[in-house]
Chains A and B, each alone.
Chain A
Amino acid sequence: MNSERARKHRFQGVIWRLIYGSVWPVSLLIGLCVLTFFLSYVAPGDPARIILGPNAREDAVRELHTSMGFDRPLIVQFGCFMGEIATGKWGTSWITRQPVLREIGDHLLPTLYLGIFASVYSILLAVSLNGVCFIFPRLGPPLISLLRLGISLPSFVVAVASALVITRLHFWSADSAAIGSSFFLGFAFPAVAVALYPACVMTTLLRNCFSSIMTSSYFRAARASGFSQAALFTRVLLSNSWATLFTAWVNQVSLLVFSTIIVEYVFSFRGLGTLLMRSIQGKDLPVLSGIILLNGIFFLVLRTVSESSTRGLFEVAERMMLRLSTSTGDRQ
């Protein structure tokens, strides 16, 4: 009877946690939509005048103003805006007259590829540099000084400097990022420029995490029970640091986006950065709002997933530590 009541309470707890956990991101999503809408609404100047240009006739401007619904009450316009988001249209570009989502889709791939490559590089660099420092401890202090120097610099300086170095390398050329079989691989070298700054931050954070693990009793127990350096690194240090590494990566994604725009500018890629620049210079507010909304949704999903999965990773890490301490206890 008691176990049944406990199960019922646990079930209710899970349901409440699910409801509360979904209300928070949904409220943030609504807030994001309101913010994006107001960013477009408070823009100075008549959108119809922006679309038709400064030399357009007054009656033509007025006609377009009415036909696009800019004369309707604010709440009706917001309703239409939300409706367009829900139907996946996200408005129409004032410059190209194309749906915003299609415009974004046309420019998404280069940015996405750069982001994927840069994420992989930064994680690999953080893990491998810490591995080298663990095996050769003497390399630690100079490497940390170098990393601190990298962190102290503005990310755009690191991105620009490394992008300029990469353009000098002969094995990369602008043509390699052209359409063709090498389209994906063409972003492999420019992505290094995006990855360097986040890699510095992630390496430092991972090293701090390693330092705290290395002072723990279970690490000393594992070392005393004859684990090899490689086993210590993979089974004790790395397996207990995934949560930190993942959180560090999530926190660096906004910097990845920032550096991606710089690298797209230096390498003349036709990515989201170029679209952002065009929409700002042409006052194409629907596209600008679309880019903000897309970024907002992306980060919202990422942070929600990260928060829930980090909790899960911590639980897994705890279980692994328990298993490890049991296995070292067995050996002893």
Chain B
Amino acid sequence: MNLTLPSQRVSRVILLQLLVLASVALLLIVPTLFHLFANEHAAYDIRVQQALRAPSATEWFGTDSLGRSQWHRSLVGAAISLRVVAGSLAIALPVSLILGAIAGSYLGRWPDHVISWFIALLHTIPFFLLVVSVAALVGPGTGILPWLVGGVIWAPAARLVRTETSRILEGRFVRTSRAMGASPVQIFWRCLFPLVTPPATVSLFYLVPEIVGIDAILTLFGLGPKPPMPSLGGLVFEGIHRWDSAPWLAGCPCLILIAVCLGVHFLADRIAAQVNFGTT
């Protein structure tokens, strides 16, 4: 039984799926890459006689007030921050897909009302405030952060999936599949899932700078990684205190942060361009 999309769109959708998979895999691999390139010894080793050295050929990002290599600290910090980002997305994506698909499938009925109510409740409080508050109760550390962030950022993506689901379920190919006796699970996996995953991924990718911001503000409130473990946001806020005498302390980690965010945005833009082509 053929339950798939119309044949002329199949190759486009498969390409789109591969692009999404590659992007998600890349986002999961990047923290490990950062960690591989970082020298943890240089990141944590205190050398007071080499404190506050400006960027040079040997120390690309200079050194901090304790003589630690800012380049290696930035790489370790990026790995830690991006692990939080990747973990949050890995939690938020399936949650948004499942809840959004349920709400969209039962549009106007009680499952839709319940899920939409929770989405609206999450939208009443700024995400960062909710995460900061729960993190304040749980205590500092990075272990719980992906769960906290992933537990709140699924809402906008789920709202998008809900709308897309209700639109796709009206499609002729879905009605044909249903008439041919496909079960709701089969329709979800073979008709709905390939079409709603890319927009949900794009919507979550666009939230990456916000997740990095949440990670940074947690560090500002003393709820991020425990010292001496660095995070990108923590390095930026530490650097602000010495902005006049050592601007590289805040500026150099910012460069890595900007590069990562621009990269993720570029990926999201490429997928979005394909989504518009593949689903219209």
Query: Which residues of A come within 8 Å of B, CB atoms?
Result: 24, 27-28, 31-32, 35, 39, 42-44, 148-149, 151-157, 160-161, 164, 254, 257-258, 261-262, 265-266, 276-277, 280-281, 283, 285, 288, 291-292, 295-296, 299-300, 303
User: Which B residues are in CB contact (< 8 Å) with A43?
Assistant: 137
Q: A42-B137, A43-B137, A157-B258 are in contact. Are A299 and B213 (CB under 8 A)?
A: no
A-B contacts besides A164-B243, A265-B237, A277-B221, 5 pairs, CB < 8 Å: A27-B117, A35-B121, A155-B213, A262-B217, A280-B133
User: Which B residues are in CB contact (< 8 Å) with A291?
Assistant: 129
Q: How long is the Cα–Cα vector from A104 to B274 in the complex, in angstroms?
A: 48
Cβ–Cβ contact A299 & B240, under 8 A:
no
Q: How long is the Cα–Cα vector from A43 to B139 in the complex, in angstroms?
A: 10
Cβ–Cβ contact A153 & B258, under 8 A:
yes
What are 10 contact pairs spanning A and B, CB under 8 A? A42-B137, A148-B265, A152-B265, A153-B209, A157-B258, A160-B250, A258-B217, A266-B240, A299-B126, A303-B124
Cβ–Cβ contact B136 & A28, under 8 A:
no
Cβ–Cβ contact A292 & B130, under 8 A:
yes
Cβ–Cβ contact A157 & B236, under 8 A:
yes
Q: A164-B243, A303-B124 are in contact. Are A154 and B221 (CB under 8 A)?
A: no
Q: How long is the Cα–Cα vector from A154 to B137 in the complex, in angstroms?
A: 25
B107-147 to A contact mask, C-beta < 8 Å, 1/0 = 00000000001001101111111101110111100000000
Q: How long is the Cα–Cα vector from A90 to B233 in the complex, in angstroms?
A: 33
Of the residues A27, A153, A156, contact of B216 by C-beta under 8 Å:
A156
Q: Is the interface of A mostly helix, strand, loop or mixed?
A: helix
Q: Which residue of B lies closest to A301 (CB)?
A: B124
Cβ–Cβ contact B258 & A258, under 8 A:
no
B225-238 to A contact mask, C-beta < 8 Å, 1/0 = 00000000100110
Cβ–Cβ contact A258 & B213, under 8 A:
yes
Judged by a CB distance under 8 angstroms, whether B174 is at the interface is no
Cβ–Cβ contact B117 & A156, under 8 A:
no
Q: Quick one: which of B123, B137, B243 has the most chain A CB within 10 A?
A: B137
Cβ–Cβ contact B221 & A281, under 8 A:
yes
User: Which A residues are in CB contact (< 8 Å) with B257?
Assistant: 153-154, 157
Cβ–Cβ contact A299 & B123, under 8 A:
yes
Q: How long is the Cα–Cα vector from A207 to B81 in the complex, in angstroms?
A: 33
Instruction: Give, as a whole number of angstroms, the nearest-CB distance from B267 to chain A.
Output: 11
Q: How long is the Cα–Cα vector from A303 to B121 in the complex, in angstroms?
A: 11
Q: How long is the Cα–Cα vector from A159 to B139 in the complex, in angstroms?
A: 27
Q: Which residue of A lies closest to B268 (CB)?
A: A152
Judged by a CB distance under 8 angstroms, whether B222 is at the interface is yes
Instruction: Give, as a whole number of angstroms, the nearest-CB distance from A272 to chain B.
Output: 10
Tally of contact residues, B, Cβ under 8 A? 40
Q: A42-B137, A280-B221 are in contact. Are A257 and B124 (CB under 8 A)?
A: no
Of the residues A27, A152, A257, A283, contact of B261 by C-beta under 8 Å:
A152
Judged by a CB distance under 8 angstroms, whether B220 is at the interface is yes
- A-B complex: 5 closest residue pairs judged by Cβ atoms: A254-B126, A152-B265, A154-B209, A280-B136, A43-B137
Cβ–Cβ contact A295 & B216, under 8 A:
no
Q: How long is the Cα–Cα vector from A40 to B139 in the complex, in angstroms?
A: 14
Judged by a CB distance under 8 angstroms, whether B262 is at the interface is yes
User: Which B residues are in CB contact (< 8 Å) with A296?
Assistant: 124-125
Q: A266-B240, A276-B132 are in contact. Are A295 and B126 (CB under 8 A)?
A: yes
Instruction: Give, as a whole number of angstroms, the nearest-CB distance from B136 to chain A.
Output: 4
Cβ–Cβ contact B210 & A155, under 8 A:
yes
Judged by a CB distance under 8 angstroms, whether B95 is at the interface is no
Instruction: Give, as a whole number of angstroms, the nearest-CB distance from A172 to chain B.
Output: 16
Judged by a CB distance under 8 angstroms, whether B223 is at the interface is yes
Of the residues B120, B127, B217, contact of A28 by C-beta under 8 Å:
B120
Q: How long is the Cα–Cα vector from A54 to B130 in the complex, in angstroms?
A: 28
Instruction: Give, as a whole number of angstroms, the nearest-CB distance from B234 to chain A.
Output: 12
User: Which A residues are in CB contact (< 8 Å) with B262?
Assistant: 149, 152-153
Judged by a CB distance under 8 angstroms, whether B254 is at the interface is yes
Q: Which residue of A lies closest to B116 (CB)?
A: A24
Q: A154-B261, A277-B221 are in contact. Are A300 and B210 (CB under 8 A)?
A: no
Instruction: Give, as a whole number of angstroms, the nearest-CB distance from B92 to chain A.
Output: 17
Q: Which residue of A lies closest to B135 (CB)?
A: A280
User: Which B residues are in CB contact (< 8 Å) with A152?
Assistant: 209, 258, 261-262, 265
User: Which A residues are in CB contact (< 8 Å) with B129?
Assistant: 257, 276, 291-292, 295
Q: A154-B257, A258-B126, A299-B126 are in contact. Are A265 and B117 (CB under 8 A)?
A: no
Judged by a CB distance under 8 angstroms, whether B212 is at the interface is yes
Cβ–Cβ contact A31 & B125, under 8 A:
no
Q: A28-B117, A154-B216, A155-B209 are in contact. Are A288 and B133 (CB under 8 A)?
A: yes
User: Which A residues are in CB contact (< 8 Å) with B127?
Assistant: 254
User: Which B residues are in CB contact (< 8 Å) with A266?
Assistant: 240
Cβ–Cβ contact A39 & B134, under 8 A:
yes
Cβ–Cβ contact B125 & A32, under 8 A:
yes
* B window 242-280: CB within 8 A of A: 243, 250, 254, 257-258, 261-262, 265
User: Which B residues are in CB contact (< 8 Å) with A31?
Assistant: 117, 121
User: Which B residues are in CB contact (< 8 Å) with A280?
Assistant: 132-133, 136, 221-223
User: Which B residues are in CB contact (< 8 Å) with A299?
Assistant: 123-126
Q: How long is the Cα–Cα vector from A164 to B124 in the complex, in angstroms?
A: 31
